[in-house]
Amino acid sequence: MHGETTSVLVVGGSSVGLTAALLLARQGIRTTVIERRDGVSIHPRALGLGLRAAEVLQAAGLTEQLAAVQRPTGAAIGRIDVQRVVGTDFASGANRRSPLSMGEQTAFDTFTPATTGSLSQDRLDLVLLTAAVAEGVTVRFNAELEGLDQDARGVRATVRTSDGPRLIEADYLVAADGANSAARDLAGIPRSGAGKLAAGYVINTLFDADLSELIPANAFGMCGIRNDDVGGILIPIDYPHRWAFHIMNAGIETVDDYPAERCATLVRAAIGVPDLPVEILSTLPWRSSRWLADRYREGRVFLVGDAAHVMPPTGGFGLNTGIPDADNLAWKLALVGRGVAGESLLDTYEAERRVLAEFTQDQVLLRAQHMEIHWDGTKAAERAAVGIAEFPVAQLGFPQVSSAVVDPPCTGLVDGVDPLLNLDGAPGTRVPHVWLEIDGRRVSTVELAGPEFVLFGGPSWRLAAEKVAENLDLGLRSYVQTPAFVAAAGIGDSGAMLVRPDGVVAWRCAGAAADPANVIEKVIDQVCGRS
């Protein structure tokens, strides 16, 4: 049997697994990814980056790469419901609904540097794969996890490859292999929850057809279609040729009854053109479900993404919860693996991310139960009345609370409507977004996070940070705080703020200290589980 060693083995080579690998590599950690498929999937399961997920990837240096493959957010975010495409006046925009008002979209830049837009997961995965390999990550396709055991020294994974069985030994394993995670099952981690939320499957059908004469560009983000022959959701992937049609005929229990020929017929019924040339590229059955792993860690095995939590697609929170999972876990694994943080730091991953996943699952179900107000950007008051947090708040506002945060003031949302009330610089929240000029570049404080710690403060705090950084092997950069940052961060001119590599405020101090270096060292000791 072939054998190899690595520091961290990531099981699963889709968006979340590749993000974890990229962020680990940026921390200087030798990382290997195994993926059972022969390459990244051509099937666009997720269709857009949320605000926090976009922030994570932009802070990792992928702003230009993402912009090259994104369709800008705009008119195409809305939903239209029709009987069939033929005969519908899409150009007028009549009956289009959106969960966000245009005013809310234009206000995003007051609290985030993220540039979002329609981005199918197949394109995202190619960006992430290229970036991960460039950082030195080893990626093995046609490699499937078959066995797993661990002890206090490490993890041993038996992997089936096209070249025969392979034994991969690692210090840690990150399970990013989806809802039916083999790694989770082999590690013995159970999951709980409501399970299947709807009868039968939905057939996610990726197809190629030229619809330019029937549908103008940016006509909708999704189009609900229901007639006597078919029901489903039509979504543009690469206008005007590539589309996804989620076939939602009632009670689909046997996916074998939906071969490519039948799917093509149903696509034509949805479009309303019986002889439309249609090429079915791929089909992917799925069920609406809710699951949550009972724990996120078993020894040296950690769960991220759908391996840890599964939720319905309403609102697009699944992938957008998984990518920040990877961001939270990567720096902690790196510091513990390098021996500069205590083992207890790894327990803070579950403490911070599992409760957030529960919150997010609840938000998804509330949206699914109240679809009319979910899809109406004018219904903020009605959404608040039933407990639905607005999209920016749900994606950015929930605090991360654990021993890796010093004196967090709250464990939940401060406000369900206004993002800035939740992003006030309090420990546990995402660092406030303020633009700075650094080396002639305009950079957000959010984008400065990672792969090291960052301290914002006046001259005495910055000198102290430089002194502390010389004595530590974890990386600490410091920046001058501007008046705008002081106001956003809730500190005085002589105060300071320490931000973790994942952009979470670890600590803040309103004013000066007699021995700032000693204060910073004590804070870092607590955050890193060294005290």
Q: Give the mean pLDDT of 106-117.
A: 83
378 φ, ψ (degrees, to nearest 5): -95, 0
**Are 332 and 388 spatial neighbours (Cβ–Cβ below 8 Å)?**
no
Examine the pLDDT at 12 and tell me if it is beyond 50: yes
* Least confident piece of the model among 109-123, 242-256, 380-394, 502-516: 242-256
Examine the pLDDT at 142 and tell me if it is beyond 90: yes
178 φ, ψ (degrees, to nearest 5): 85, -175
* Least confident piece of the model among 68-77, 316-325, 406-415, 472-481: 68-77
Q: Which of 67, 41, 54, 50 is nearest to 122 (CA)?
A: 41
Cα angle, residue 249 at apex, residues 252 and 277 outer, rounded to 5°: 110
Between 196 and 262, the more confident residue is 262
Task: Say how far apart CA 504 and CA 432 lie, in whole Å.
Answer: 9
Say which DSSP state 293 is in: E
Contact partners, residue 265, CB within 8 Å, separation at least 6? none
pLDDT band at 82 (very low <50, low <70, confident <90, very high): very high
Give the tokens for residue 302: 């950690």
Give the tokens for residue 354: 């599992």
Q: Which of 45, 37, 311, 41 is nearest to 204 (CA)?
A: 45
Between 21 and 91, the more confident residue is 21
**Are 481 and 489 spatial neighbours (Cβ–Cβ below 8 Å)?**
yes
Task: Say how far apart CA 227 and CA 465 lie, in whole Å.
Answer: 65
419 φ, ψ (degrees, to nearest 5): -60, -35
pLDDT band at 35 (very low <50, low <70, confident <90, very high): very high
In a 13 Å sphere around the CA of 498, the CA atoms on its Cβ side amount to 29
pLDDT band at 315 (very low <50, low <70, confident <90, very high): confident
**3-class DSSP state of 10:** strand
Instruction: Give the DSSP per-residue string, 205-248.
Output: EEEE---TTTS-TTS-SEEEEE-SS-EEEEEEEETTTEEEEEE-
Examine the pLDDT at 282 and tell me if it is beyond 80: yes
Task: Say how far apart CA 479 and CA 273 lie, in whole Å.
Answer: 60
Question: Is beta strand 31-34 parallel, antiparallel or unpaired with respect to 2-11?
Answer: parallel
Q: Which of 449, 473, 478, 482 is nearest to 461 (CA)?
A: 478
Instruction: Write out the CATH class of domain 435-527.
Output: alpha beta
Q: Give the mean pLDDT of 118-142.
A: 94
Examine the pLDDT at 5 and tell me if it is beyond 90: yes
276 φ, ψ (degrees, to nearest 5): -65, 130
pLDDT in tens, 45-77: 888 889 999 999 999 999 999 989 887 554 456
**Are 337 and 30 spatial neighbours (Cβ–Cβ below 8 Å)?**
no
CB atoms within 10 A of CB 12: 28
Place of tokens 């985030």: 112
412 φ, ψ (degrees, to nearest 5): -145, -170
Task: Say how far apart CA 431 and CA 490 lie, in whole Å.
Answer: 11
**Are 397 and 414 spatial neighbours (Cβ–Cβ below 8 Å)?**
yes
CB atoms within 10 A of CB 330: 31
Helix (H) or strand (E) holding 175: strand 164-175
Place of tokens 């074998």: 256
Question: Is beta strand 2-11 parallel, antiparallel or unpaired with respect to 164-175?
Answer: parallel
Q: What's the pLDDT at 191? A: 97
289 φ, ψ (degrees, to nearest 5): -145, 160
Q: Hey, what's the torsion of the CAs at 349, 301, 453, 318, to 10 degrees?
A: -60
In a 13 Å sphere around the CA of 286, the CA atoms on its Cβ side amount to 21
Task: Say how far apart CA 334 and CA 356 lie, in whole Å.
Answer: 22
**Are 330 and 27 spatial neighbours (Cβ–Cβ below 8 Å)?**
yes
Q: Domain extents for the chain?
A: 2-72+114-196+290-342, 73-113+198-287, 435-527
Share of the chain above pLDDT 70, in %: 96
Helix (H) or strand (E) holding 187: helix 182-187
Examine the pLDDT at 256 and tell me if it is beyond 90: no
CATH code at 73-113+198-287: 3.30.9.10
Q: What's the pLDDT at 115? A: 82
Task: Say how far apart CA 114 and CA 433 lie, in whole Å.
Answer: 10
Task: Say how far apart CA 200 and CA 348 lie, in whole Å.
Answer: 37
Task: Say how far apart CA 329 and CA 504 lie, in whole Å.
Answer: 12
Place of tokens 């705009």: 74
pLDDT band at 499 (very low <50, low <70, confident <90, very high): very high
pLDDT band at 120 (very low <50, low <70, confident <90, very high): confident
Q: What's the pLDDT at 75? A: 44
Between 197 and 436, the more confident residue is 436
Q: What's the pLDDT at 163? A: 87
The model's pTM is 0.94
Q: Give the mean pLDDT of 191-219.
A: 90
- Taking every pair of C-alpha atoms in the chain, what is the biggest distance, in angstroms? 80
Q: Hey, what's the torsion of the CAs at 167, 172, 177, 183, to 10 degrees?
A: 70
Q: What's the pLDDT at 96? A: 75
pLDDT band at 200 (very low <50, low <70, confident <90, very high): confident
Examine the pLDDT at 359 and tell me if it is beyond 90: yes
Q: Give the mean pLDDT of 496-514.
A: 96
pLDDT in tens, 223-255: 999 999 999 999 998 889 999 999 987 667 777
Give the chain's mean pLDDT. 92
Q: What's the pLDDT at 103? A: 47
Per-residue burial over 465-484, b if 16 or more Cβ lie within 10 Å, else e, is beebbeebebbbebbebeee
Examine the pLDDT at 166 and tell me if it is beyond 80: yes
Instruction: Write out the CATH class of domain 2-72+114-196+290-342.
Output: alpha beta
Cα angle, residue 364 at apex, residues 374 and 295 outer, rounded to 5°: 170
Handedness of CA 329, 335, 341, 342 (dihedral sign): positive
